[in-house]
């Protein structure tokens, strides 16, 4: 496929509902988009003392982000904010100063939780950081997914038809957003 989208799941949990949501989103996307996971679990805690000698794992993380035409964040909300591990990964990508890998990247934000506000507050925290980092965010549509048990099955199928249609529309809009950004900002 001509476009490659990096998927960053904000949860490290083996049973993550956000990873399940991500698997469903990949299946609902238009066919000319290909998706690959960008892991961040092995990053150490960011420390600016390491800016002069970036650890290889952080260089690899930045290279993966740089190689992507766009980034899709699929993340839980932790204590009304974004998970600390995800923030740490974003911080690594933003440094050393002047080498912010996120700049101009077409980006989507979505998340699932068992709570009824469906990560809305966590997404706002994430969006504030992405805004500062000069990311090209899709601001609408928004998607706050209230995850009920079994919503996404083991094969990545969405079991509620109205939710499936909503998520398909979200991915169609995200694809259009990516193409719109890429018409003015060339790909890496
Ligand atoms: C949560 N959870 C949660 N849910 C929510 O709607 N708002 C919140 O602020 C929080 N805060 C929070 C903090 C911490 C440390 C944990 C572990 C959990 C519940 C959360 O939505 C639930 O555990 C999801 O299953 C997490 O997503 P993953 O890991 O399954 O993708």
Q: Which of 11, 12, 113 to mutate to test the pocket of ligand 1 (most atoms within 8 A of CB)?
A: 113
User: What is the predicted ipTM?
Assistant: 0.99
Nearest CA residue ID for atom 22, ligand 1: 113
Q: How far apart are the first and last CA of the chain?
A: 16
The pLDDT value given to residue 187: 76
Assign 186 a pLDDT band (cuts: 50, 70, 90): confident
> Rounded mean pLDDT of the chain?
97
pLDDT confidence bin for 123, thresholds 50/70/90: very high
Mean pLDDT over 120-124 rounds to: 98
CA distance 61 to 115: 31
Query: Could you tell me the pTM of the whole model?
Result: 0.98
Instruction: Identify whether the C-beta of residue 141 lies closer than 8 Å to the C-beta of residue 172.
Output: no
**CA 103, CA 18: separation in Å to the nearest integer?**
25
* CA 138 – CA 103 distance, rounded (Å): 14
Ligand 1 geometric centre to CA of 113 (Å): 6
Candidates 169, 133, 147; CA nearest to 25 is: 169
Q: Alpha helices, DSSP H only, in the chain?
A: 17-28, 56-67, 84-93, 120-132, 161-184
8, 71, 90, 105, 126 from 129: Cα distances, Å: 15, 14, 9, 13, 5
Count of beta carbons in the 10 Å neighbourhood of residue 99? 13
Q: What letter does residue 51 receive in the DSSP assignment?
A: G
Q: Using a 6 Å cutoff on CB, does residue 79 contact ligand 1?
A: yes
Pocket test for ligand 1, best of 23, 77, 149 (most atoms within 8 A of CB): 77
């Amino acid at each position: 496929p001509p476009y490659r989208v990096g998927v960053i799941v904000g949860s490290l949990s083996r049973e993550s509902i956000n990873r399940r949501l991500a698997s469903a989103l990949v299946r609902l996307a238009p066919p000319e988009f290909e998706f690959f996971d960008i892991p961040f679990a092995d990053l150490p805690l960011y420390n600016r003392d390491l800016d002069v000698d970036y650890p290889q794992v952080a260089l690899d993380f930045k290279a993966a982000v740089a190689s992507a035409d766009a980034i899709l964040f699929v993340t839980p909300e932790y204590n009304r904010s974004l998970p600390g591990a995800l923030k740490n990964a974003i911080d690594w990508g933003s440094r050393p100063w002047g080498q912010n890998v996120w700049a101009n990247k077409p980006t989507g934000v979505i998340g699932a939780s068992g709570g009824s506000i469906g990560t809305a507050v966590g997404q706002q925290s994430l969006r504030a950081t992405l805004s500062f980092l000069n990311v090209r965010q899709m601001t609408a549509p928004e998607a706050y997914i209230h995850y009920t048990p079994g919503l996404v099955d083991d094969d990545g199928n969405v079991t509620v038809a109205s939710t499936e249609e909503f998520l398909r529309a979200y991915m169609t809009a995200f694809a259009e957003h990516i193409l719109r950004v890429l018409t003015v900002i060339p790909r890496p």
